[in-house]
Chains A and B, each alone.
Chain A
Amino acid sequence: DAEITQSPRHKITETGRQVTLACHQTWNHNNMFWYRQDLGHGLRLIHYSYGVHDTNKGEVSDGYSVSRSNTEDLPLTLESAASSQTSVYFCASSASHGLAGRSYNEQFFGPGTRLTVL
């Protein structure tokens, strides 16, 4: 079965360190997204990609970067981790078009990565 995975599931790091969170999907989706989830804020978009070599900033992109070298992976890098980046991070993917018989394309989410920056 197709799936979307994230690693690690839990990470503790120190302020100033570079951290990379992995996201891998086997749906063959063109669209991939990174969100952070914080209490009281819901899901906020960090970066997104509509295909290989395409990356775009979301509403909370400062301090984060992504690269898309293939369809399956969109790693998220925190260049210099800050305590404000302590959060739960979700990766998601979606098809560019609705599946046969449907007019919509929902996002499929990974299980999340809980990141703590000390």
Chain B
Amino acid sequence: AQKITQTQPGMFVQEKEAVTLDCTYDTSDPSYGLFWYKQPSSGEMIFLIYQGSYDQQNATEGRYSLNFQKARKSANLVISASQLGDSAMYFCAMREASGGSYIPTFGRGTSLIVHP
């Protein structure tokens, strides 16, 4: 079974609107971290936001927020006020803490296109 599932291969949004990118995860480890990365067409991977499993509040970083629903095992990325530069691939990743592993597992990504 996949540990990270991103069910939306592609998403479209109008400029200035908000968009939610879905991510569900599967783990039995009580301690884990969730990451979102952005990959624009230039290819580099850019870290966006992190949510720890014990964090009481949803993470926010500027226009990015993470809608963390622990019981549902979902960690959706919300981008507010979309900009043309937000067009990119977005990857959700999870790192489990057991065994001292530093290795995140990545989802297959969601392609976001922002229309003017």
Contacts and interface: CB of A to CB of B under 8 A. Distances in A.
A78 interface: no
Nearest to B91: A42
B50 A104 contact: yes
Interface string A92-118: 101010000001111111011000000
A88 B43 contact: yes
Interface residues of A, number: 26
A60 interface: no
B35 interface: yes
B103 A45 contact: yes
A41 interface: yes
A94 B102 CA distance: 8
Interface string B87-116: 000010000000000111011110000000
Most-contacted residue by chain A among B35, B43, B47, B50 (CB, 10 A)? B43
Contacts of B108: 40-42
B18 interface: no
B102 A105 contact: yes
Nearest to A58: B103
A50 interface: yes
A43 B103 contact: no
B44 A112 contact: yes
Contacts of A58: 103
Interface of B: 33, 35, 37, 43-47, 50, 52, 91, 102-104, 106-109
